[in-house]
Structures are given as structure tokens and as C-alpha cells.
């Protein structure tokens, strides 16, 4: 037996492992990515044109060499002095005929300097041109901008669909495997890149609160739970698989002082998980307060923050954000102000930084930089402002003409925080759709505008550092989705995984037949009704139970109904067919037909008068007692 096994192994080693197996046809990855390639072009801001015409890179290098070296070194032969280019071939070579092809034409310096001679090679620099450091700096700036644009993954795009209204909430876990999207259709959809096929369908759908829009989603630092903030006064916590862990308590709306309530009393506007602590959560509400919660205790909050107001009353807090280290929080107030609190022992509601009238309308998004130097703010007034946290009196830069129609429109940084980007809304009857606008953080200028959707507004945007993919949520009153921009050469996992995975074909094993269990002795409430097919067929045949309309009667008629035949007797039918018996009632006037018997009825009454002939031969009228009538 051992010898036979050795002989088998020796023979099997001569053949490849795939011998005899049919290989499935696989679509190459390039073809798959070509189907998701974007056809839109990137809009770049207008730059100042260079001092020389547009030429190739090799010609530009040649011009730079000419700038640095005004006159070339003298050539060895005296006859070739004043020539630029390769030396002429010797006369011996010309006589011997060893040179193949025509010799390269010599170019004299006079032709380069004088305008009369023929010009060979790239065009000359314009008059008064001098190689300077400023021009080199411009070239370097253009190259830097090109490098920045090339680092944005924009070549391909996929769309996660499923929502019926605008998608206003987005969250991607730190590993980049799961995506959460919340919409105005009151639902949250969960997507898993590892288990998702090319059809891009969600594996779970949740409805946190019936009739309340989903406004914010946030993952915990460990990505084991996520926070769901809706239009209700209670935030919910779910685990990674979408199971409900708990919901925070609602406060008493009849208590005037918000610090004495155990929770929010009005709809929530925003919420965010602590960047480092897995048990701390921050929420903001329309009741005019910010609250810090502990996940371990859903019945009461840890801290209540009441913003500083110019007038007494309740002004809603429209948005909130944690600092990168979690040492401070920021809140956007309904009066247009930005307030920042530093978390320290014994701190209260008094803000450490307060910028009044930071925006002329409600603030929709706040974002801290990782180095703690800058703060970004987005507002309904159509502006994006960059603030220096060391000096908050005036913004560093204000970017205008950014239409914003949604209270969840945010602003974000690129992974290296060299770029700032935000989304824009769609104007009515506007040719341009929703855009993603990218700005340089150092130069504070526009880098590019990327079209996302021709008809829908861009609300939430995010650039995942591990996947190197840009997420943007869009939507309107009838549709919503999440666009994922990626580049096959720069991005990793995420969209690349699910695009390359074909959907599984349905097999016979997928169809399960549910067994039917008949229990005749069960109670009528729990008894499975048998098939009623025969009973339905019998009812259909019964004209009374099926409410079938009566059919027309054929023949002489029966049951008080006259038939539709032309005659009930054979003789009548033959007379009508022969024309001997005619029916004139169709052509006769009914009034004349009645009046022709009037004279005969007066002379010989047969119906009414004979009935009263014996009792009342003559009419008798009652006599009136009233004298006036006489």
C-alpha cells in the first residue's frame, strides 16, 4: 500500500493542482473599475498664465537651461565657432558616405539672437525676460497644486442607495469596514464592505424613533457601539450589529431650570462620542443646552451646560463638537455665536471663549483641527469660516457663496489636514448641482470644485484616513444616497473590496419550502385554515354569491322576462323576415297614438265612467257656507 501511495504521489506531482478543474471566467479588475470611473471633470480656479507660451516639459527644460547659460562654451574647431548643437561631421565622413541620412542642420547664435534668421527649436522667451526666483516660485506653486489635486481620490465613484429622502447623517468606523447612513426618511442603514457584494445593498435597516428624522451618527472610539441622534429628545445607543443597548432619559418639560432636569426636553440637534473615552457622549438640543452623558447610566447626565446669552430665554444649540484630545467642547448657538468650554475640575457653564455674531444665521457644523490651532465653522448664511483659536476676534478667512439649505451640512479636514472641504446645496433652477469644494489650509484659497450630483445637494462629507476614500451624502425630497469617491491606485479596501466581488448566484438550496403542519384539534384562533381552492371555485359558479350580472334571455322568455329573439313564434318570425308584419311603434309619435282614441273614449266610456254609473249618475258638488264665495 505504501508503494502504491508513493507511486500515486509521484504521478500526481507531474500535473498541476488545477488539472481537470474548470476555471470560472473572472472579469479583470481594470474592467470593473472602468465601469465606476467618473466622467465629470474637476473645476480648477483660474491661475495667472506663465510668461512663456504653453509648451511641452522638454521644451520648458530647454528654456531653463538657456536662461542659466547665456552663451555656450566655445567649440573645439574654429570653423564651428558660433554654432549651437552637435558638431558637423568631418569632410572625410561626407566623402566616404558613411553618414546615414541628412546631417543635422547647424544653428548659429545669430539665428537665436536676430529675428531675421530662421528660428529652430522651441520659441524664444519674450523680450525683457529674465530668469528670476519669482517665476521659479510660481512654477513650484503650480506643481504643488497639481500634487495636491493628484492626491485627492476622485477617479472612480460608487453610490450606496436605499434611502428615499436626503441622507443627513454619516459615520464610518475607524477600521473603515462599516458605514452608517441616516436619512430624513426616519431610517438608519448599515453597510459592511467585507460582506457587501457588487449590488451595494445594506445588511440591516433600523428605525430609531417613528416619525423623527435621523440627524447625527457617531461611532465610539472602539467602534463597538454607535450613537444615533434623531429629532426626538432621547438619544439611542446601538451595538455594532444594530441591537439596541439603551436610550437616555427624557427630562421634565414643566421644570423651568434646565439644570434640574434629568435629560433634554426638546428635539436633539447634534451628538458626538468622545474621541478617547468610550463611556462619554456629548449632545446638543433645541432646548438650549448641551449635556455630557455616561453610557453606563442612562437615567441622568453627568454635566449640563447652558450657553451664555445676550437676553434671557431659550436659544437652541444647533451643533456641537469635541476637540481632538477631548479637553474642550464647542457649541454653535442659534443666535450665531460660537462658544468654547475647557473641561477642567470645577468648571461650569461660563464659556472660556465666546464669539458673538460669528455668523449671521444658524451654525450647521464645527470642526477642530488636530493640532488645536484652528476651528472651522459652517453656517446657513452660505459661508465657511476659518478661526484661529489663539485669537478669536476675527476669522482668518471667510469663504462665501456656499449655499447651505440643510441643518446637518458639515465641514471636514483631509487626513493630512492640508485641505478643507465642505458640500454645497442646490439652488432652484440652477445648472450646477451639489459640489464638494476643496480649500488649501495654509494658503486659504480654493483648490478645486468637484461635482457630486447634478440634482441633489451635498450634506455630509468625510475623508477616511485608512481607506483614503471620500464619502459624500446627497439627496432631496424623493431620493438619497452616499457617494464614495476612490482611486484604485491610491485607495485601500473599502469600495475596492465590494466592487470586485460579484453577487452570488442563486442556487437550488436557497429555496426553502416551509412545512405545513395540520392540527385539526387546535383552537379556532390558532388553527391553520386549509386550502379553500375548491370552495372558491364553487362560489364563482354560483351567480348569487359571486354577484355575477344577469345574462340576456334568449328565446321566448321565462320568469317574467321577455326574450331577445325577434319573435316567440315561428309564424311571427317568418312574417317579420318576409316583410309582411311590420313594427311601426319606432316611427309613430306617442302623443298622436294616445289622442287618436280620445273621441272614441268620450262617446263610449269603458273604464272610469261605467264604474260610477249606478251610484253617481250626475256629479254633485258641495255647497259653500261662505257668503263671499257666492
Which residues lie across from 388 on neighbouring strands? 374, 391
Question: Which pLDDT value is given to residue 87?
Answer: 47
Where does the pLDDT of residue 386 fall: very low under 50, low under 70, confident under 90, or very high at 90 and above? very high
Cell of 149: 489635486
**pLDDT score of 522 more than 80:** yes
State which of 346-355, 439-448, 577-586, 601-610 shows the largest mean pLDDT: 439-448
For cell 426638546, what's the residue? 266
Which residues lie below 8 Å from residue 117, measured CB to CB, with a gap of 6+? 108, 110, 111
pLDDT digits (tens, 9 = 90+) for 282-312: 999 999 999 999 999 898 889 999 998 877 8
Torsion angle of alpha carbons 558, 564, 565, 571, nearest 10°? 70
Predicted local confidence at residue 498, as pLDDT: 86
Mean pLDDT of the chain, nearest integer: 78
C-alpha cell at 93: 565622413
Task: Quote the cell numbers at residue 225.
Answer: 457601539
Task: Tell me the C-alpha distance between 281 and 294, whole Å.
Answer: 7
Domains and CATH numbers, the chain: 150-504 (2.130.10.10)
pLDDT in tens, 331-341: 999 999 999 99
Long-range contacts of 349-358, Cβ-Cβ distance < 8 Å, separation of 24 or more? 349/304, 349/305, 349/306, 349/307, 349/308, 350/308, 351/307, 351/308, 352/328, 353/389, 353/392, 354/308, 355/387, 355/392, 355/393, 356/310, 358/385, 358/387, 358/395
Is the confidence at residue 152, as pLDDT, over 80? yes
Question: To which H or E segment does residue 294 belong?
Answer: strand 290-294
Q: Tens of pLDDT along 387-412? A: 999 998 899 999 999 999 999 999 99
Q: Select, from the ranges 4-8, 436-440, 567-571, the one with the highest average predicted confidence (pLDDT).
A: 436-440
pTM for the model: 0.64
pLDDT band for position 48 (cuts 50, 70, 90) = very low
Q: What is the structure's pLDDT at 90?
A: 45
29 pLDDT band, cuts 50/70/90, is confident
| Residue range 442-498, pLDDT digits in tens | 999 999 999 998 889 999 999 999 999 999 999 988 899 999 999 988 898 888 888
- Residue 134 C-beta-side C-alpha neighbours within 13 Å: 4
pLDDT digits (tens, 9 = 90+) for 268-281: 999 999 999 999 99
Position 347 scores a pLDDT of 79
Q: Which helix (H) or strand (E) holds 65?
A: helix 57-68
- What is the distance between the alpha carbons of residues 341 and 467, in angstroms, rounded to a whole number? 33
Amino acid at each position: 500500500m505504501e508503494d502504491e501511495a508513493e507511486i500515486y504521489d509521484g504521478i500526481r506531482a507531474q500535473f498541476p493542482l488545477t488539472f481537470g478543474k474548470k476555471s470560472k471566467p473572472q472579469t479583470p479588475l481594470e474592467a470593473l473599475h472602468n465601469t465606476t470611473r467618473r466622467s465629470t471633470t474637476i473645476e480648477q480656479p483660474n491661475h495667472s498664465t506663465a510668461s512663456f507660451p504653453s509648451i511641452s516639459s522638454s521644451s520648458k527644460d530647454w528654456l531653463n537651461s538657456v536662461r542659466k547659460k547665456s552663451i555656450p562654451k566655445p567649440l573645439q574647431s574654429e570653423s564651428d565657432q558660433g554654432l549651437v548643437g552637435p558638431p558637423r561631421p568631418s569632410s572625410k565622413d561626407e566623402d566616404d558616405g558613411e553618414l546615414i541620412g541628412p546631417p543635422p542642420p547647424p544653428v548659429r547664435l545669430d539665428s537665436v539672437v536676430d529675428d531675421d534668421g530662421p528660428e529652430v527649436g522651441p520659441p524664444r522667451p519674450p523680450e525683457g525676460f529674465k530668469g528670476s526666483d519669482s517665476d521659479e516660485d510660481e512654477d513650484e506653486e503650480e506643481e504643488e497644486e497639481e500634487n495636491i489635486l493628484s492626491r485627492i481620490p476622485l477617479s472612480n465613484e460608487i453610490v450606496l442607495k436605499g434611502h428615499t429622502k436626503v441622507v443627513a447623517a454619516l459615520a464610518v468606523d475607524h477600521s473603515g469596514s462599516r458605514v452608517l447612513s441616516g436619512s430624513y426618511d426616519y431610517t438608519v442603514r448599515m453597510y459592511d464592505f467585507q460582506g457587501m457584494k457588487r449590488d451595494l445593498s445594506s445588511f440591516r435597516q433600523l428605525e430609531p424613533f417613528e416619525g423623527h428624522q435621523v440627524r447625527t451618527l457617531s461611532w465610539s472610539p472602539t467602534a463597538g457601539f454607535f450613537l444615533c441622534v434623531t429629532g426626538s429628545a432621547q438619544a439611542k445607543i446601538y451595538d455594532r450589529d444594530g441591537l439596541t443597548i439603551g436610550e437616555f432619559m427624557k427630562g421634565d418639560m414643566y421644570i423651568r431650570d434646565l439644570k434640574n432636569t434629568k435629560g433634554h426636553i426638546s428635539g436633539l440637534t447634534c451628538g458626538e462620542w468622545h474621541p478617547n473615552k468610550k463611556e462619554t457622549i456629548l449632545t446638543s438640543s433645541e432646548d438650549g443646552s448641551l449635556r455630557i452623558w455616561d453610557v453606563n447610566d442612562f437615567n441622568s447626565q453627568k454635566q449640563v451646560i447652558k450657553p451664555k446669552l445676550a437676553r434671557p430665554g431659550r436659544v437652541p444649540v444647533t451643533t456641537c463638537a469635541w476637540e481632538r484630545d477631548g479637553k474642550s467642547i464647542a457649541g454653535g448657538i442659534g443666535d450665531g455665536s460660537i462658544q468654547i468650554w475647557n473641561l477642567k475640575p470645577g468648571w461650569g457653564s461660563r464659556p472660556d471663549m465666546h464669539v458673538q455674531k460669528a455668523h449671521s444665521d444658524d451654525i450647521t457644523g464645527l470642526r477642530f483641527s488636530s493640532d488645536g490651532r484652528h476651528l472651522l465653522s459652517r453656517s446657513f448664511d452660505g459661508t465657511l469660516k476659518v478661526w484661529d483659536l489663539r485669537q478669536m476676534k476675527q476669522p482668518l478667512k471667510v469663504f462665501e457663496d456656499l449655499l447651505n439649505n440643510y441643518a446637518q451640512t458639515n465641514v471636514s479636514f483631509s487626513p493630512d489636514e492640508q485641505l478643507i472641504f465642505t458640500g454645497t446645496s442646490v439652488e432652484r433652477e440652477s445648472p450646477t448641482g451639489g459640489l464638494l469644494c476643496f480649500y488649501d489650509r495654509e494658503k486659504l484659497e480654493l483648490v478645486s470644485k468637484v461635482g457630486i450630483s447634478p440634482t441633489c445637494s451635498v450634506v455630509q462629507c468625510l475623508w477616511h484616513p485608512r481607506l483614503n476614500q471620500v464619502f459624500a451624502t446627497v439627496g432631496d425630497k424623493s431620493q438619497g444616497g452616499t457617494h464614495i469617491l476612490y482611486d484604485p491606485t491610491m485607495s485601500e479596501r473599502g469600495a475596492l473590496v465590494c466592487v470586485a466581488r460579484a453577487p452570488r448566484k442563486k442556487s437550488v438550496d436557497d429555496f426553502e419550502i416551509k412545512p405545513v403542519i395540520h392540527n385539526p384539534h387546535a383552537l379556532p384562533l390558532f388553527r391553520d385554515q386549509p386550502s379553500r381552492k375548491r370552495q372558491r371555485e364553487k362560489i364563482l359558479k354560483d351567480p348569487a354569491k359571486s354577484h355575477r350580472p344577469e345574462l340576456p334571455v334568449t328565446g321566448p322568455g321565462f320568469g317574467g322576462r321577455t326574450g331577445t329573439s325577434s319573435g316567440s313564434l315561428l309564424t311571427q318570425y317568418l312574417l317579420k323576415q318576409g316583410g309582411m308584419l311590420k313594427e311601426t311603434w319606432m316611427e309613430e309619435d306617442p302623443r298622436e297614438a294616445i289622442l287618436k282614441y280620445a273621441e272614441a273614449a268620450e262617446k263610449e266610456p269603458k273604464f272610469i265612467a261605467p264604474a260610477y254609473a249606478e251610484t253617481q249618475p250626475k256629479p254633485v258638488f258641495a255647497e259653500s257656507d261662505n257668503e263671499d264665495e257666492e
